[in-house]
Structure 1
Amino acid sequence: MANPSKVKGTAWESLFTGYLREHHNPAAHRNVQMGSRDIGDVAGYYLHAVEAKAEKTITLSDYIAQANREAVHAGQPFGCAVVKRRMKGVADGYVVRDVRTDVRLMNRLKIMEEALQDEAFDRWFDIDKELREAA
C-alpha cells in the first residue's frame, strides 16, 4: 500500500497543476523530484518555484525556506508555497511567500507597470481595466 501522505501530496500537486493549466499557463507540469537539488513541485507558475503542501499541520517557515531554496535551484527569482486549505478546492488554497520575497515581487510589478504606462498607456489601461473586473 502506498504512503497515504505521499498520495495526498501528489493529488494536491496534480490539482494545482490542473488549475494552473486552465487559468494561467497551459504548459504547467509537475516536476520530477531531484533530492537536495530539487527545483520545486510544479513548474509553470510564472517566475516562481512552487512548493505544494497538503498537510494537516501547517509549518509556514519550513515551507517558505524550502521554496526559497528551490527557487535558487530552479533559476527562478521567487519561491512560494501553495498550501491546500482543508475541505476547500484549489482556488481557495493559499499562496504564501515571506515578506522579503513579496516586496521584491511587488517592486518588480510596480516597475514593469510604470514602464508599460510610459510606453503604451492605452494598452496598460485596457489590461488594468480587464484585471480589475476579474477580481
Structure 2
Amino acid sequence: MIDAFFFLFVTLWPVLAHAVTDKSPELYGVLTYTWVIGIAALGGVTSFVSKVQRGEARAYNIVELIGELFISAFAGVMTFYLCELIDLPPLASAACVGIVGHMGSRGMFVLEKTVERILKGKLKLTIEDKEK
C-alpha cells in the first residue's frame, strides 16, 4: 500500500503542489533545478565517500556511486518542493536539500513520513498501511 501511495504521490505531485499553492514545479528555472540537484548530489557523494571510509562500499564501484547520486538528487528535489511549499528561506532550503541528499534513501523515508503528515493535515486524507 505504501508503494502504491508513493507512486501516486510522485506522479501526482505537480497537481497536488498546484492545488495547494500558487507554486508549481514547472515555474522554476533550469538554474534552480541545477543548484538543487547539484547540492543533493554533493550530499550523495559525501555519503558514498563516508561509506567507502567505513568499509561499507568499495571505492571503485561506479554503479553504487551512480545509484547514490540518483537517489540523492531525487530526494533533494522532493525536499526542495516541500521547502517551497512551506515558504522556507532559500538558505534553509539549500541546507535541507544537502542534508537529505546526504541521507539518500533514509532521507526518502523521512520525506515519505513528512508528506504523509502534510496530506493528513491539509487534505484530511487517511493513509493506512495494510502490510502491518
Structure 1 length-normalised TM: 0.28
- Which structure's residues are more often strand, by fraction? 1
- Which structure's residues are more often helix, by fraction? 2
Structure 2 length-normalised TM: 0.28
Question: Considering only CA atoms, is the larger Rg found in Structure 1 or Structure 2?
Answer: 1
